[in-house]
Chain A
């Protein structure tokens, strides 16, 4: 079932700003193969379905139209798991200082 968002919901919309063949000259080969895409968030101006057309008002008051890509989208960045290559460093450095303080 498609997800539906009501008017005034905080959402993300997106779309293609420049198609592959509209992009700037002198791009690296890999970047040339893909379009320039955009995402922006705001409050929905009308009920809409995910994947469908939507218009929002952004935090600066702009009206922007695009495809509904997220409903109350998550901030997904995080710390994640500890990194085994970093975990021992604190202990190693403290040991160097302890050793130095013992001998001086």
Chain B
């Protein structure tokens, strides 16, 4: 057991991060608030073709695009005449470790190997850990995954328990911790002790690795249908999935495709609460990550987060845990595809959004994930019942995170709730302006940066700055 005190290790954060990621983040600073985002990504030296080649060599990507014809018919059964868009899904479960996270891990493993690191490490409780472990196995690198895995009663979250098993199957060391943000502290100790490469979810490598997903799906739809999709739906947590996919779509020429983010609503549950830990039936793709990371991406484990979802989101919706479980059942029952529940968050939202769209339109759900013991509606709902959560059929509006999981009685009851993007943009700008160092002023470069960051315009940002200054006085 380590005796390094919490503060002593946290004080070495910048130094440990620099040597474990190998990026000098300071050199991208362009103003008191701004930095050169594109330069930070470009300087990795990997363009889209190079990444496709690297991923191809480790069996990542080129996953099938599946038209969900029966689910589309179900959409139309509950839509107005002429409505009900065609639903497609990118079957990312076909990647080596069973999720799109292999795309994120592949480039980190390649970079770590190239730079001569002996191993790679990641702080993650989800699919990403299995992906890093799988890519490390292929590259012949050591691997350590640090998970937040169990509560103070020793009860493991079933999905995370399955990830522990998967990582160990790929030959990785898994450090399991109880609930708390000090996971990051332990992760720093591991990086310091081993000198491993930090395969953070938020480095440029991780985000560039997802661009191929958006790129592939745009070209697959185009080759089949002669045009790009109208809407792409992505499950939204830390922002990487939305960011990478949208960037890939743009690189494929599908700049007019709408990028819609979807998260599971876990409002009211505290992410660092020992008690709430096992009252969540979803460990990712939920608002506990997506809201804080949309409004302030630089809360990540690297100084400059390469996942900046607010730059790319056209719309952001939430669905309930019960709605996602219902869609998971539907996907298995009428499409013959049994896939993990968390990846079906965007599918549940897409099902409802397709109802608003015309029949000729195309909506693509950009991922699936593998399923298995623990990582399954049965494992999750059995635990929920054990924790005293009321699981029942009814109107999903009655869903209460941590208290009641209401499974819809009919597909017409699936209705995502709109997140107010204007409010998220204002919250982001407030956080950015609060981070302005004492004595510094916002420059013109900062303003242009904030416009891009919030996907807004010059007037919008200037008004936000004025209102922020008024409040300060």
Q: Mark B137-160, 1 if CB is under 8 A from A, else 0.
A: 000001110000110100010100
A18, B5: Cα distance in complex, Å:
8
B179 at the interface (CB under 8 A from A): yes
Q: Which residues of A are found within 8 Å of B182, using beta-carbon distances?
A: 17-18, 23-24, 36
Which residues of B sit under 8 angstroms from A4, Cβ to Cβ?
A: none
Find residues 392-415 in chain B having any chain A CB closer than 8 Å to their own CB.
Answer: 392-393, 407, 410-411
Q: Mark A36-71, 1 if CB is under 8 A from B, else 0.
A: 111111100000000000000011111001100000
B73 contacts A by Cβ under 8 Å: yes
Number of CB contacts from chain A to chain B under 8 A: 166
Q: Which of B215-223, B324-332, B440-448 contacts A (4 or more CB under 8 A)?
A: B324-332
In the assembled complex, which residues on chain B have CB atoms less than 8 Å from the CB atom of A28?
Answer: 270, 272-274
Contact among B70, B164, B325, B392 with A97 in the assembled complex (CB-CB below 8 Å): B70
Residues of A with C-beta under 8 A to B377: 83, 86
**In the complex, residue of chain A having the shortest beta-carbon distance to the beta carbon of B383:** A80
**Residues in B whose Cβ lies below 8 Å from that of A58:** 144, 173
Which residues from A are CB-within-8-Å of B393?
85
* Cβ B6 vs Cβ A16 within 8 A: no
A3 beta carbon closer than 8 Å to chain B: no
Bound Cα distance from A85 to B385, whole angstroms: 12
Q: Is A6 engaged at the interface, CB distance under 8 Å to the other chain? A: no
A60 lies within 8 A of B142 (CB) = yes
Alpha-carbon separation in the docked complex, A16 to B177 (Å): 10
Most chain B CB inside 10 Å of its own CB: which residue of A22, A86, A89, A92: A89
List A contacts of B164 (CB < 8 A): 75
- Contacts A37-B177, A41-B168, A94-B334 hold; do A31 and B185 have CB atoms under 8 A apart? no
State whether B70 touches A82 (Cβ < 8 A).
no
Which one of A24, A60, A65, A75 contacts B173 once the chains associate, using CB atoms below 8 Å? Answer: A60
For residue B64, CB closer than 8 A to chain A, the reply is no
Which of B6, B392, B407, B410 is A18 in contact with, Cβ under 8 Å? B6
Residue numbers in B under 8 Å from A83 (CB-CB): 377-378, 381-382, 391
Bound complex: CA of A16 vs CA of B74, how far in Å? 52
Identify which of A16, A42, A82, A86 gathers the most chain B CB atoms within 10 Å of its CB: A86
Known contacts A36-B177, A61-B142, A62-B173: A77-B165 contact under CB 8 Å: yes
Known: A17-B186, A97-B74. A79 touches B274 (CB 8 A): no
Nearest chain A residue, comparing its CB with the CB of B193: A62
- Per-position contact with A for B173-193: 1 when CB-CB < 8 Å, else 0? 111111111100110000001
The interface on chain A, measured as residues whose beta carbon lies within 8 A of the other chain's beta carbons, has a size of 48
Pairwise interchain contact B162-A38, C-beta atoms closer than 8 A: no
Bound-complex Cα distance A40 to B393 (A): 40
A1 lies within 8 A of chain B by Cβ: no
Bound form: Cα–Cα A41–B164 in Å: 10
Q: Identify the closest chain B residue to A66 (Cβ).
A: B1
Residues of A within 8 A of B194 (CB): 60, 62
Residues of B within 8 A of A100 (CB): 73, 76-77
Chain B min CB distance to A69 (Å): 9
Residues of A within 8 A of B330 (CB): 89, 93
Closest beta carbon of chain A to B26's beta carbon, Å: 26
Whether A79 and B173, one on each chain, are in contact in the complex, defined by CB atoms closer than 8 angstroms, is: no
Q: Is the CB of A24 within 8 A of B180?
A: yes
Knowing A80-B382, A96-B77, the reply to whether A38 touches B333 (Cβ < 8 A) is no
| A-B residue pairs in contact (CB < 8 Å), sample of 17 | A17-B1, A18-B182, A28-B273, A30-B274, A37-B152, A39-B150, A59-B168, A60-B172, A60-B194, A65-B1, A79-B374, A86-B329, A89-B333, A89-B407, A90-B333, A96-B74, A97-B77
Given contacts A18-B182, A83-B391, A86-B377, 11 further A-B contacts (CB under 8 A): A17-B1, A34-B178, A38-B178, A42-B173, A59-B171, A77-B162, A79-B376, A79-B378, A79-B382, A85-B391, A94-B333
Interface residues of A (CB under 8 A from B): 15-18, 22-24, 27-28, 30-31, 33-42, 58-62, 65-66, 75-83, 85-86, 89-90, 92-94, 96-97, 99-100
Seen from chain B, the residues whose Cβ lies within 8 Å of a Cβ on chain A are 1-2, 5-6, 70, 73-74, 76-78, 119, 142-144, 149-150, 152, 156, 158, 161-162, 164-165, 168, 171-182, 185-186, 193-194, 270, 272-275, 325-326, 329-330, 332-334, 373-374, 376-379, 381-382, 391-393, 407, 410-411
Q: Which 4 A-B pairs have the closest CB atoms?
A: A77-B374, A90-B333, A77-B161, A80-B382
